[in-house]
């Protein structure tokens, strides 16, 4: 048995509540879950961009979609009670660092209060067995030591987004101990970030920025080209979430860790500039990326960030599958086919199948 593989028989017919299904990662999760035969109820805001992965897929996705702000506790509670989930994957969030500086209160309300609203609503859900709250690789207090973070490192965050996700971790752990201690419902958090892949059209994200620049024939402008990040394909993190949920569902003895990192191998941690160069080359842009103009004010971001995912490998058998070359090839291929007008549900499903097939290699 390959422990790194998502178990299709587990998900077939499972009632799954997926929050954030209109976002980049959420739409990939919705595509994979419905492909596995899960009965998915989605809760999320409407997509902001004209381009979005969920709009490419939604007409062909068998999902009960609810457009809702998770800060609205009353409406959220009604949908949760109707959905009666057995498994919950909570991905709804304000996930943009630069936006968190502009709208700090919205960021904290969504990422902390919205999560609390959901966990309070789920307390009396019959047959619910596992809840996974997705946070971020940025939940750790980053003192620029240059080493990969492990799950026992101190949580923190200097910017509103990072600190809101660290606060979400603390709030989730408190809820699990305060309100779920006498229940057979396992609650955990998953820490991953800097995922790339086709279908991301968000503002201030590296690959979408390069794609938009490529459409104009321009080189992309980078704010922090020397910063290192744990880049991985979106399917890597989602596979980790699904495998984690499977294990939590069966964890009657509370033996599993309540938080896990999901990140690439250490040698796959690349700089922003390295990623940009390779992606621009794949898009056929001959000029190199360029730095922001001298004197332009930049918001503070950490120079180095990496995750140690060895605990996930130890307890789940999970580890990253695609290297950086394969990840970039799949990402660029998705955008290229999108620009050509291909059927993106077919393209997306094919990449999921290719990812599953690579687990046997």
- The Cα–Cα gap between 312 and 204 comes to 30
Our CA angle for 271, 166, 92, nearest 5°, is 85
Our CA angle for 238, 239, 245, nearest 5°, is 90
Instruction: Provide CB contacts within 8 A for 245, sequence distance 6+.
Output: 87, 89, 130, 132
Instruction: Provide CB contacts within 8 A for 69, sequence distance 6+.
Output: 45, 110, 114
Domain residue limits, the chain: 8-358
| pLDDT tens track for 109-130 | 999 999 999 999 999 999 999 9
- Predicted model pTM: 0.93
pLDDT band at 287 (very low <50, low <70, confident <90, very high): low
Q: In the predicted model, is pLDDT for residue 334 greater than 60? A: yes
DSSP for 331-354, please give it.
HHHHHHHHHTT--HHHHHHHHHHH
| pLDDT tens track for 235-276 | 999 999 999 999 999 998 999 999 999 998 877 777 888 888
Report the CATH fold assignment for 8-358.
Answer: Rossmann fold (3.40.50)
Q: Taking the CA of residue 215 as centre, how many other CA atoms within 13 Å lie in the half-sphere pointing to its CB? A: 10
């Amino acid at each position: 048995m390959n422990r790194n593989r998502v178990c299709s028989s587990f998900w077939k017919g499972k009632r799954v509540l997926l929050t954030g299904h209109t976002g980049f990662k959420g739409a990939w999760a919705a595509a994979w879950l419905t492909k596995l035969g899960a009965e998915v109820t989605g809760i999320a805001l409407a997509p902001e961009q004209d381009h979005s992965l969920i709009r490419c897929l939604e007409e062909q996705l068998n999902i009960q979609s609810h457009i809702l702000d998770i800060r609205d506790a009353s409406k959220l509670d009604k949908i949760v009670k109707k959905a009666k989930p057995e498994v919950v994957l909570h991905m709804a969030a304000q996930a943009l660092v630069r936006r968190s500086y502009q709208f700090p209160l919205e960021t904290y309300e969504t990422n902390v209060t919205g999560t609390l609203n959901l966990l309070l609503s789920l307390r009396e859900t019959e047959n619910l067995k596992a809840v996974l709250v997705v946070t971020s690789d940025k939940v750790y207090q980053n003192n620029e030591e240059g080493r990969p973070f492990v799950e026992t490192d101190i949580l923190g965050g200097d910017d509103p987004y990072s600190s809101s996700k660290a606060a979400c971790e603390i709030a989730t752990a408190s809820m699990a101990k305060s309100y779920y201690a006498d229940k057979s419902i396992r609650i955990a958090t998953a820490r991953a970030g800097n995922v790339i892949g086709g279908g991301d059209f968000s503002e201030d994200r590296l690959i979408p920025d390069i794609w938009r620049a490529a459409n104009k024939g321009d080189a992309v402008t980078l704010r922090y080209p020397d910063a290192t990040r744990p880049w991985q394909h979106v399917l890597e993190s989602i596979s980790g979430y699904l495998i984690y949920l499977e294990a939590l569902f069966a964890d009657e003895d509370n033996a599993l860790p309540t938080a896990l990192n999901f990140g690439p191998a250490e040698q796959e941690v690349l700089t922003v500039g390295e990623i940009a160069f390779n992606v621009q080359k794949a898009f056929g842009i001959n000029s190199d990326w360029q730095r922001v103009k001298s004197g332009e004010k930049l918001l503070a971001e950490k120079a180095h960030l990496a995750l140690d995912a060895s605990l996930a490998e130890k307890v789940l058998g999970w580890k990253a599958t695609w290297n950086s070359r394969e990840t970039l090839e799949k990402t660029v291929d998705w955008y290229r086919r999108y620009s050509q007008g291909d059927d993106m549900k077919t393209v997306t499903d094919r990449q999921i199948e290719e990812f599953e097939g690579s687990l046997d290699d």
